[in-house]
Chains A and B, each alone.
Chain A
Amino acid sequence: MNYFPDEVLEHVFDYVTSHRDRNAVSLVCKSWYRVERCSRQRVFIGNCYSISPERVIQRFPGLKSLTLKGKPHFADFNLVPHEWGGYVSPWIEALAKSRVGLEELKLKRMVVSDDSLELLSYSFPNFKSLVLVSCEGFTTDGLAAIAANCRLLRDLDLQENEIDDHRGQWLNCFPDSCTSLVSLNIACLKGDINLGALERLVARSPNLKSLKLNRAVPLDTLQRILMRTPQLTDLGTGSFVDEPDSEAYFKLKHTISKCRSITSLCGFLEVSPHCLPAVYPLCSNLTSLNLSYAVGLQGSDLMKLIRHCVKLQRLWILDSIGDDGLCVVACTCKDLQELRVFPSLPFEAGPSPVTERGLVAISVGCPKLHSLLYFCQQMTNAALITVAKNCPNFIRFRLCTLDPTKPDADTMQPLDEGFGAIVQSCRRLRRLSMSGLLTDRVFLYIGMYAEQLEMLSVAFAGESDKGMLYVLNGCKKIRKLEIRDSPFGNMALLNDVGKYETMRSLWMSSCEVTLGACKTLARKMPRLNVEIMNENEVEFNLDDAQKVDRMYLYRSLTGKRKDAPDFVWTL
């Protein structure tokens, strides 16, 4: 089937950009596979242990942009022991040895060392973009190497990483000749930075569009920076604290009002509510607002601010906004597409001011909503049914009641019907995360209706193996299933072992699965890595009837990984 010369095929394939589409293209025939693989520049590896770096490099010699993910999602919530793995060093070493002209690297939940960053920094002369999300293992020394050696650096984006801050002068390591920065995000750095170096760096970066500062950057420095960057579109403030009658604040108000290009605002890691009005002039242009770290703001401050944000499409906020505040959002932000409401207080400090009432209001006022993450005090079936009717376009729906097994607050019934309504109404749902009192019934609904579901997170839910079976049998497109503290066991696990090769991974912790069943599964499916993790590092109890604390299985072409720590047993 080769009607066209390779160059034409390649030209056509240039328009095929999504990974899945390109994967599909490569399966058509041998010549398409060949042309596709030679022309592919962007590669996405959802599980760094599914394939070896050498094989990736061999297949895609034109690789320029690599995305890697390491630890399982539940690692975010301390369910995966430290030292589990997810090391990026073999990848960077293999790439450095090869002739790949790497330009972009994006890592999520991986362990990154300073040595790796240093190797990265001088191995690829065209390296432009480094994005690290929820990573750990490195210090500001590694960042210094990146700054010093990546002459064409365009993006340095550090999101929620655990970075050992040596409070050094790493910002000074950007040479004077570095003028290419477009995006700089240092918000997660905990220590002080050299403010002068920051200002000078910003001053010589005419292309800078996105700047996210950390807590150590005070208001007056922000003002001086904004003077230099009127073209900024994406701003994350550091410390937003000053006296309301101070000169610095007065200047800031004036400077901010000139920044007409800012459409995305975040930060406020420290904030005095009386300083907030300085950003009001920006609000009417904002499409994205992230105040989820602004602990210093009360509901009333948030409401006043949001009333101005008529164009908002994405809002990340703390639950201190309350149901009333969400009503304000519903009235104001008619274009809202994504909402995340995070908890602001530890559980012991009292009930959250966000309930089902806020969510219903949002669903009425914001029909374009397609992505939700909602931490709340309570939920009801009636509310979820209403939400499902008002917002049939959900792609991502994640609900978390602060008490994980809380029933319907009005009827005391399980929330099965509510979530059932969501999956039945939202035919394009790809990601679902549930909480509250849930029986097997909700899984029946999910298996029946959630045809596009790719990722499901289950906690403290279900009554029997039937629940898990409904999902595995019904959800044809499920790729990632993560389950904790639910009564699913061997029968569900072993019912259809072939299913797991169609998925990226399965996580089960504190369930009813036994060691014997995991061994059986591993034996039947050699191309799955079945990892068992024990609480402590003692010898694994070899009793097959013993329940397994944590099981993580994933398909892999590389077999058992060699970097697993002692407490991980690959069957």
Chain B
Amino acid sequence: MSSPENQPQDAAVELNFNDTELTLGLPGAAKTGSKREFSHTLEASSTSAKSPAQKAQVVGWPPVRASRKSVMKKCKYVKVAVDGAPYLRKVDLEMYQSYDQLLSSLETMFTCLTIWNDLNQKNCERGKNNNGGEYVPTYEDKDGDWMMVGDVPWNMFVESCKRIRLMMSSEEATTGFGARRGSSE
């Protein structure tokens, strides 16, 4: 499905090419190293102005022991379906802090695809057919409606997302997803 002259959109996502090798790996096998990317992204995305949310993400605040912190952390596993893939995967949304991280992790999981990342539109060459098709990330929310990933703040998304589907879209339909959205945070 891939053509030799393909340029993977590595400006859009931080992708370790070793991880993208197609394997029949077990679920979660691709996650090695994702923790480090985590913190890189956290640091990279934090702005200099300290909003209350970031102030409190200071190390060691609120002062609770690690054993309590790990209990607080909720697991939020959702199914991920990709059009054309023979089986579904599951991801824990609590593992990620932003849409970028989630989508790059999904891309790693489903290595034969490229996810059209609306949030980094300027880095994508639009209309380009990478690896056989554009995929649009969508999700089913609490009301049962299918929504486009990226519209609401990340935390709201985690709260309301029940399952994810990467929909195959044609080029014409892609151009319809026009205007850039604002920050995902």
Contact = CB atoms under 8 A, between A and B. Distances in A.
Given A347-B57, A404-B55, A293 B71 contact: yes
Contact of B55 (A293, A295, A343, A405): A405
B182 interface: no
Interface string B57-70: 11111111111100
Contacts, number: 63
Interface stretch (A73-81, A91-99, A243-251, A418-426): A73-81
Contact of B62 (A162, A375, A405): A375
Nearest to B61: A404
A340 to B, nearest CB: 11
Q: What interface size band does chain B fall in?
A: 20 to 34
A458 to B, nearest CB: 12
B57 A78 contact: no
Interface string A323-364: 000000000000000000011111111000000000000000
Contacts of A403: 52, 55-56
B73 interface: yes
A134 B68 CA distance: 11
B173 interface: no
A489 to B, nearest CB: 20
A459 interface: yes
A400 interface: yes
Contact of B60 (A269, A402, A405, A484): A484
Interface centre among B56, B61, B67, B73 (most CB of A within 10 A): B61
A84 to B, nearest CB: 14
Chain B CB within 10 A, most for which of A269, A292, A348, A400: A348
B61 A459 contact: yes
B72 interface: yes
A511 interface: no
Contacts of A269: 71
Interface in A237-292: 269, 292
A134 B65 CA distance: 9
B179 to A, nearest CB: 27
B155 interface: yes
A402 B56 contact: yes
A254 B53 CA distance: 48
A292 B61 CA distance: 18
A295 B72 contact: yes
A188 B62 contact: no
B156 to A, nearest CB: 10
Contacts of B56: 347, 402-404
Contacts of B68: 292-293, 342
B64 A77 contact: yes
Given A293-B71, A295-B74, 6 more contacts: A162-B67, A269-B71, A343-B64, A345-B72, A375-B64, A404-B61
Interface of B: 52-53, 55-68, 71-74, 155
Interface of A: 74, 76-79, 134, 160, 162, 188, 269, 292-293, 295, 342-349, 375, 400, 402-405, 459, 484-485
12 contacts: A77-B64, A78-B60, A79-B59, A162-B66, A292-B68, A342-B64, A347-B53, A347-B57, A375-B62, A400-B62, A400-B63, A402-B62
Q: Which 9 A-B pairs have the closest CB atoms?
A: A77-B60, A347-B56, A160-B67, A77-B63, A76-B65, A79-B60, A78-B60, A348-B155, A293-B71
